[in-house]
Structure 1
């Protein structure tokens, strides 16, 4: 059985990986693949590969020879930075690992292990589209905020809604526990399924509480 890794990503803590995992698991089963790991990230796809623990873990699996394929639902799950996405794919290829993009049914390596030049070109285009889509979304959000400001709408948290330190620590007890165990910000965020920014806020609140 071909050993594969499932890779999923969402950008918001309120989102989940269920649909991606279910679809990719069903595909793996239909192809007779053996899923040796499922790497699930909650992180912005615009970050560099070095800032993403999921990508780091994925490349280690490939380098160690634990997998032969990586299954992703769509190219934007690998990231929204074209250069970073292509770097991941190239690093996987160097380890003899093929990347399969399910929604377009494309694979970066042929059955003989050689690079699929057509899929490489297609992947580059898809990555660029994902980046442009992200930029368009940001532009729309900023445009909406500017329009709201022109209309006199007060933006930000409502008065009295900012969480105090006690409330923050009570809400993120699991993060507090991981910090007490000596976990890094990145690892604590991954374990608890929150952003690194949230972990940083919790650490700051903990330091203030000790002062």
Structure 2
């Protein structure tokens, strides 16, 4: 919330007027614009925290079950080359440089 107000104050100090085309009540040219922007930015910040909390609460049971999350592991070409070489009988001890 403070970041939004700081940005607005910095822009206002430089003479920039913020005008929202679809929501004129948020424009900084009016008397209530900064107040409404502060209220909306607070709600946005609170919602972001709620989303983070819900995601963490949702991940806790899946972690307890041992479910793997995220991008699947993709083997490197070197790994597959080693498998082929093992099957052919010519295994390398260290990766090529």
Match of 1:98 among 17, 22, 35: 17
What is the alpha-carbon distance in structure 2 between the residues aligned to residue 163 and residue 127 of structure 1? Answer: 45
- TM-score by length of structure 2 reads 0.65
- 5 Å-filtered alignment, 1:1-211, equals 82-105=1-24, 106-109=26-29, 116-158=30-72, 160-161=73-74
Equivalent residue for 2:88? Answer: none
The structure whose Rg is larger is 2
Larger helix fraction of residues = 2
TM-fit CA distance, 1:86: 0.7
TM-fit CA distance, 1:131: 0.6
Deviant stretches of 4+, over 3 Å: none
What is the alpha-carbon distance in structure 2 between the residues aligned to residue 163 and residue 86 of structure 1? Answer: 48
TM-fit CA distance, 1:155: 2.4
SS at match of 1:125: helix
Question: Which sections of structure 1, spanning at least 5 residues, go unmatched?
Answer: 1-81, 110-115, 165-211
Aligned in 2, Cα 1:147/1:162: closer, same or farther, shift over 3 Å? farther
Question: Residues 135-156 of structure 1, C-alpha deviation per residue, up to 9 Å, x if partnerless?
Answer: 1111111111112112321223
Larger strand fraction of residues = 1
Aligned in 2, Cα 1:152/1:144: closer, same or farther, shift over 3 Å? same
Question: Which sections of structure 2, spanning at least 5 residues, go unmatched?
Answer: 78-97
- TM-score by length of structure 1 reads 0.32
Alpha-carbon RMSD? 2.4
Question: Residues 26-46 of structure 1, C-alpha deviation per residue, up to 9 Å, x if partnerless?
Answer: xxxxxxxxxxxxxxxxxxxxx
What is the alpha-carbon distance in structure 1 between the residues aligned to residue 7 and residue 51 of structure 2? Answer: 24
